[in-house]
């Protein structure tokens, strides 16, 4: 665990609530710029020794989510900025949590479990979060390819708050099944996502067996 990394990832989770608006590009780039600020202050990512690569911030929305911005997030290429950096070269993905609209309300209320998670025998997961991750997957994959983040040779980091954290965890599993390396990630206040088998498999896959 790295407190500095957790704070940096929390800033990205917070920024995703701005939605797919033009201002998020400049905000994300300046929030974690390797160039520093004119007044001499440091970026939120400086203590964790990583930075956003200029020109690589992207926003994305989910397909068929009921409203254009009801399911969205942002991603960017990140690069280490020192030997003690907590991240390797890769892409950081942040998924927005729920906001007050009908599409998000319907998603969060789909609490029945489904056993459709690929590569996870015996796993049952929250239908709303699972379907949200699926709705985002194609858009995210296209953006990863555009940023030359290729399966088998690229590390992906995920973050999010609330339901965004739950969807981010589902995406981490899906991307890992697609041969992406999932780096140490930070999720905030995630609700329950699945059954005990899912928790055990997630722990074994990403936490060395810890739940």
Do residues 179 and 120 lie in contact, with contact meaning Cβ atoms separated by under 8 Å?
no
Could you tell me which residue, 207 or 170, shows the higher pLDDT? Answer: 170
The encoded tokens of residue 43 equal 């970026």
Ranking 7-16, 21-30, 196-205 by mean pLDDT, the lowest is 21-30
Q: Confidence band (pLDDT; 50, 70, 90) for 9? A: very high
Kind of pairing between the strands at 58-61 and 50-52: unpaired
Query: Tell me, what's the pLDDT at 114?
Result: 86
pLDDT tens across 44-101, in order?
Answer: 999 999 999 999 999 998 876 555 456 889 999 999 999 989 899 999 999 998 766 5
Q: What distance, in Å, lies between the first and last C-alpha atoms of the chain?
A: 15
Q: How many residues does the chain have?
A: 211
| CA 63 – CA 74 distance, rounded (Å) | 15
For 170-194, what is each residue's pLDDT tens digit? Answer: 999 999 999 999 999 999 999 999 9
pTM of the model: 0.89
Residue 108: pLDDT band by 50, 70, 90 thresholds? low
From CA 92, how far away is CA 76, in angstroms rounded?
6
Task: Quote the pLDDT of residue 78.
Answer: 96
- Give the closest residue to 174 by CA, choosing from 144, 148, 146: 144
Tokens of 197: 């088998």
- The answer to whether residue 210 scores a pLDDT higher than 60 is no
HSE-CB for 113 with a 13 A CA cutoff: 12
Spatial contact of 109 and 48, defined as CB atoms under 8 Å apart: no
Q: 3-state SS of 87-154? A: CCCEEEEEECCCCCCHHHHHHHHCCCEECCCCCCCCCCEEHHHHHHHHHHHHHHHHHHHHCCCCCCCC
Average pLDDT over residues 110-129: 86
Using an 8 Å Cβ cutoff, are 113 and 120 in contact? no
Q: Is the pLDDT of residue 195 over 50?
A: yes
In this structure, are residues 160 and 96 in contact, taking their beta carbons and an 8 Å threshold?
A: yes
Joined tokens for residue 60: 């994305």
Contact yes or no for 150/126 (Cβ under 8 A)? no
Average pLDDT over residues 92-115: 74
């Amino acid at each position: 665990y790295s407190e500095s990394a957790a704070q940096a990832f929390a800033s990205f989770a917070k920024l995703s609530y701005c939605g797919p608006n033009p201002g998020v590009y400049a905000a994300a780039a300046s929030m974690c710029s390797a160039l520093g600020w004119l007044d001499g202050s440091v970026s939120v990512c400086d203590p964790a020794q990583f930075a956003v690569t200029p020109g690589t911030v992207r926003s994305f929305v989910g397909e068929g989510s009921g409203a254009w911005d009801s399911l969205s997030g942002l991603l960017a290429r990140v690069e280490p900025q020192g030997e003690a950096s907590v991240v390797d070269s890769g892409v950081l993905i942040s998924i927005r949590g729920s906001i007050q609209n009908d599409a998000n309300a319907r998603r969060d209320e789909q609490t029945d479990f489904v056993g459709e998670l690929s590569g996870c025998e015996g796993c049952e997961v929250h239908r709303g979060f699972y379907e949200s991750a699926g709705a985002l997957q194609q858009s995210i994959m296209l953006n990863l390819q555009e940023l030359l983040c290729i399966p088998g040779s690229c590390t992906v980091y995920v973050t999010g708050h609330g339901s965004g954290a739950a969807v981010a965890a589902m995406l981490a599993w899906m991307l890992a099944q697609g041969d992406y390396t999932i780096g140490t990630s930070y999720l905030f206040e995630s609700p329950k996502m699945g059954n005990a088998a899912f928790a055990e498999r997630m722990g074994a896959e990403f936490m060395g067996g810890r739940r």
